Amino acid sequence: MSGTALVTGASRGIGRAIAQALAEEGFTVACFARDRAKLEETQALIEAARGKASVHTGDVGSDSDLEALVEEVNATHGSLDVLVNNAGITEGEPASKISPERFREILNINLVAPYVLSRAAHPIMKAQGSGVIINISSVYASQGVANNSPYCTSKAGLEGMTRALAREWVKDGVRVLGVAPGFVRTDMVANAFGGTEVEKLVVSRIPMKRFGEAEEIGRFVAFLATNKAGFVTGETLVIDGGQRSLL
């Protein structure tokens, strides 16, 4: 494949793995996050593997930053063929301790930002006659989990938005789909309960008896971004080692 892919939250974890996998598929990858140094690490990894990447920084919570980002990527690379809305935040607190302001902040980053980016990317993709938007959701969108209500709400909304935009933009040659990972071995997960009894309990409930790896998510997303998955749109596909399907 060739073309340009924009990945938000590409400075680490799943976002970095997605960026690397897209580069392996032949895309030039525009990597976006706040931390330039970490983004440059992602860029170096891609270029060491003979891929192409560019670094773009900004605030995912700022509409103006996101709209400028899309314009910058299109101007720099001459196209925008794939958008991966990966950046997100979570909050591990009971609902009684999460203020309405914090709830709105999480929805703004996890749900509104993907909408702003998708809306900005759509005219470019429509003019090209093709494009793919992939929203990174979570199994928590359908399962729900205690002490994380804004995250679950935002991801459920993201899946609804995926279905709606897929129907609206299919006539323009734009595919919109989602990927919902389960537990994936990232720094965030390791910091939360790596090596603890909680980790053992979580793993015991996954039919494959292990966490996923960021690289597995990356390769799956990259496949969906290519013409190999050209008949897929409107769906959010689960990749969780069988956890949700076998509950």
pLDDT confidence of residue 39 = 98
pLDDT confidence of residue 144 = 80
- Report the mean per-residue pLDDT for the chain: 93
Of 63, 198, 224, the closest CA to residue 137 belongs to 224
pLDDT confidence of residue 207 = 86
At 130, the pLDDT band (50, 70, 90 cuts) reads very high
Q: What is the DSSP string of 90-142?
A: ---S-GGGS-HHHHHHHHIIIIIHHHHHHHHHHHHHHHHT-EEEEEE--THHH
Q: What is the DSSP string of 219-234?
A: HHHHHHHSGGGTT--S
pLDDT confidence of residue 101 = 96
**pLDDT above 90 coverage of the chain, percent:** 80
What are the sequence ranges of the domains in the chain? 4-238
Burial class for 88, CB neighbours closer than 10 Å (0-12, 13-18, 19+):
buried
Rounded to an integer, the average pLDDT of 15-19 is: 98
Active-site entry in 27, 151, 169, 183:
151
pLDDT confidence of residue 188 = 66
- State pTM to two decimals: 0.95
pLDDT confidence of residue 195 = 64
At 178, the pLDDT band (50, 70, 90 cuts) reads very high
Which stretches of the chain are DSSP H helices?
Answer: 13-24, 36-48, 63-77, 100-107, 113-128, 140-143, 149-169, 187-193, 197-204, 214-225
Rounded to an integer, the average pLDDT of 185-201 is: 71
At 91, the pLDDT band (50, 70, 90 cuts) reads confident
Q: Which residue has the higher pLDDT, 98 or 187?
A: 98
pLDDT confidence of residue 245 = 65
Residues 6+ apart with CB under 8 A from 5: 19, 22, 27, 28, 29, 30, 81, 82, 83, 84, 225
At 185, the pLDDT band (50, 70, 90 cuts) reads confident
Number of other residues whose CB lies within 10 A of the CB of residue 241: 22
Rounded to an integer, the average pLDDT of 52-78 is: 97
140 is catalytic: no
| Domain 4-238 in this protein, CATH class | alpha beta
pLDDT confidence of residue 204 = 85
Q: Which residue has the higher pLDDT, 202 or 20?
A: 20
Number of other residues whose CB lies within 10 A of the CB of residue 164: 12
Tell me which DSSP letter residue 213 carries: E
**pLDDT above 70 coverage of the chain, percent:** 96
At 150, the pLDDT band (50, 70, 90 cuts) reads very high
Residues 6+ apart with CB under 8 A from 114: 85, 135, 158, 161
